[in-house]
Amino acid sequence: MMTRADWVLMVIALCALPLLYLHLWTPQDAYWDVGGTRAGARGSAKQEPEPSATHGAVADSATGLRIQIAAAAATITPLTPDRQVQVTGPIGESTIEIRAGQARFLSSPCPGQVCVHSGWLREAGQLAACLPNRISIQLLGSRPRFDAINF
């Protein structure tokens, strides 16, 4: 029932799959290497992964960062220079880091740390939010890559 070509194909597929797992599941991409390093190293920026500078096309699409705290009017800040912004929400102070045209929550007083684990926002339209501290940040740009179906 199985021809020789079938067997060859099967063997190739079975060999290629583990390689694919190995390739795609190895945390080589700094963006996704957040689980282990970030949870343990809250506040110490040295161990944090770097934002990737190679993401050029993406980095120029974002032109600003909108920071929204609770029901107050949103503030829009430019993405240069690289810096850390302290914002105070209902439960404490969150730190937002802006570097290389990208932004993220560096630290937050919230229990879940969902905002911090969201990682770097790289593309216009991307958003990270901290519900306990009622802060959200979003990259702005003329041509957002993401829309409502994003997450």
Partner 1 sequence: MQIQTTAEDQRIAWLAALAITIHILESAFPSPLPGIKPGLANVITIVVLIQFGWRSAAWVSLLRVLCGSLLLGTFLTPTFLLSLSGAVCSIGILWLAGRLPGRGFGPVGFSLLAALAHTAGQFTIAWLLFIPHPALWRLFPVLLTAALLFGTVSGIIAGEISNRQRQCTT
Which CB atom, from 21 or from 83, has the smaller least distance to partner 1?
21
Q: Determine, following the binding rule CB under 8 A, whether residue 32 of this chain makes contact with partner 1.
A: yes
Considering the complex, state which of residue 62 and residue 87 has its C-beta at the smaller distance from partner 1.
Answer: 62
Bridge-based pairing of strands 102-107 and 83-89 is unpaired
Count of residues binding partner 1 (CB under 8 A)? 22
By CB under 8 A, is residue 145 in contact with partner 1? yes
- Specify the residue, 32 or 70, whose C-beta has the smaller distance to partner 1: 32
We find the least distance from the C-beta atom of residue 93 to partner 1, in angstroms, to be 29
* Sequential DSSP letters for 7-20: HHHHHHHHHHHHHH
Ramachandran sector of residue 75 (left: φ over 0; alpha: ψ -120 to 50; beta: rest): beta
Q: Which of 92, 98, 37, 39 is nearest to 65 (CA)?
A: 98
User: If binding is defined by CB under 8 A, does position 46 make contact with partner 1?
Assistant: no
Q: Which stretch binds partner 1 (CB under 8 A): 8-16, 78-86, 89-97, 105-113?
A: 8-16
Interacting residues toward partner 1 by CB under 8 A: 1-6, 9-10, 13-14, 17, 20-21, 24-25, 29, 31-32, 145-146, 149-150
